[in-house]
Amino acid sequence: MVRPLVITMLLFTVAGAFAAPRDLPTGAFSFTVETVVPGQPEVVYDMTFGDVTGWWDHSMSDDPHAMYIEPKPGGAFMEIFDASGDGVRHAVVTYAKRGEMLRFEGPLGLAGNALHMVTTWTFTDADEGHTRIAVEVHASGEMEEDWPAIIERTWRHFLIGRLTPYLAGGGKPLD
């Protein structure tokens, strides 16, 4: 009887060592980045999504084979690394209404971390012939202290530094 008890206690001790809680940095943040671009909301929406290689310049591979956001519920924000189909799903589209809003959920370039991000794009008439694009990001989970500022700076880069000139240039790829 002693032997099974010793084995059981040993197993619980070993299992407890692997299941011991760790102190992980956690938090939450949100921000909104906006820009105004030429074009009607439906046209701007269509130029923004689908193939994003003309304006999206961050990737997990050096030269992605394809990168796209499928603007439909259940669609994916995909980066395909090569012709064999290797790649990563950065996010999944949870809401899409052409010319008005697209929302996706996923960690984007922070895959592998317990970080949940919800990114909502809205498209509204700004004035005659222009569209206001707002990108609102809400995130919570594991994160380093400097991530909120880095992520907001990265979205400013995408929206203002990349997408705005891409759209102003009629969808001509940058670089």
The answer as to whether 100 is a domain residue is: yes
The answer as to whether 140 is a domain residue is: yes
Write the burial class of residue 86 (CB in 10 Å: 0-12 exposed, 13-18 middle, 19+ buried): exposed
The answer as to whether 8 is a domain residue is: no
Q: Read off the pTM.
A: 0.84
The whole domain housing 58 covers 26-168
Write the burial class of residue 34 (CB in 10 Å: 0-12 exposed, 13-18 middle, 19+ buried): middle
Number of domains observed in the structure of the chain:
1
Distance from C-alpha of 95 to C-alpha of 41, rounded to nearest angstrom: 16
Distance from C-alpha of 56 to C-alpha of 163, rounded to nearest angstrom: 8
What's 92's domain CATH number?
3.30.530.20
The answer as to whether 6 is a domain residue is: no
What pLDDT sits at residue 10?
43
What pLDDT sits at residue 18?
52
The answer as to whether 131 is a domain residue is: yes
The answer as to whether 11 is a domain residue is: no
Produce one character per residue of 131-150: b if its CB has 16 or more CB atoms within 10 Å, e if not: bbbebbbebebebeeebbee
- Could you say which residues of the chain have pLDDT below 50? 5-14, 17
What pLDDT sits at residue 128?
86
What pLDDT sits at residue 58?
84
What pLDDT sits at residue 19?
52
Three-state secondary structure call for residue 162: helix
The answer as to whether 18 is a domain residue is: no
The answer as to whether 135 is a domain residue is: yes
What pLDDT sits at residue 25?
84
What pLDDT sits at residue 54?
92
